[in-house]
Amino acid sequence: MNEYNKALEIDTNNVEALVARGALYATKGSLMKAIDDFELALENCPTHRNAKKYLCQTLVERGGQLEEEEKLVTAEGLYKRAMVLDDTFQEAAEALEKLQIRIQKSLKLKEQEAAKEQKKTKTVETSAEKLRKILKEEKGMKKKRKKGLH
C-alpha cells in the first residue's frame, strides 16, 4: 500500500497505481476508497480494462452491502452504474433484477399494510360514531323522562 501511495504522491494520475491500490482497498473491504481509485483511474484512462472490470465488481459488492442495510434505492443506483460501465456484466444485471423484484414486493406489502391501516381507522371511526349516536339517544331519553316526570 505504501508503495502505491508513494507512486501517487509523485504522479497523482498514475493509472496503474490507482488500479492496484483500488484492488488492495477492495480486498481489505474498503469499498468506497476502492471505488474512488477505480473511478479516478477511468477518468485518466477511460479504456483501462481492469479499472472498469474492478469498478463494476466493486460497485456490485457495495450494492450488496447496501441491500443488507436496507438502502435499496442506493444499491439500485450502484447496480445501474455498473451496467452503464459494462452492459454485459451479468452479475450486475442479475443483482439489479433481483433488487427490483424485491423493491416491488416491498412496495406492494407497504400498500397492503396502508390499506389495512386505513380500514382499521375507518372501523374505529365507525365505532366512535355509533357510540356518539347511542350516547345522544340516551341523553334524549333522559330529557324525555325528566319532561314526563314534571
Report if residue 138 sits inside a domain. no
Report if residue 54 sits inside a domain. yes
Looking at residue 125, what is its pLDDT?
66
pTM, rounded to two decimals: 0.73
Report if residue 125 sits inside a domain. no
Report if residue 52 sits inside a domain. yes
- Residue 60 sits in a domain whose CATH number is 1.25.40.10
Report if residue 135 sits inside a domain. no
DSSP secondary structure, the chain, as one string: -HHHHHHHHH-TT-HHHHHHHHHHHHHHT-HHHHHHHHHHHHHH-TT-HHHHHHHHHHHHHHHHHHHHTT-HHHHHHHHHHHHHH-TT-HHHHHHHHHHHHHHHHHHHHHHHHHHHHHHHHHHHHHHHHHHHHHHHHHHHHHHHHHHHH-
Q: How confident is the model at residue 149 (pLDDT cuts 50, 70, 90)?
A: low
Report if residue 124 sits inside a domain. no
Total domains in the fold of the chain: 1
Residue 31 domain boundaries: 2-109
Q: Is the pLDDT of residue 90 over 90?
A: yes
Looking at residue 116, what is its pLDDT?
85
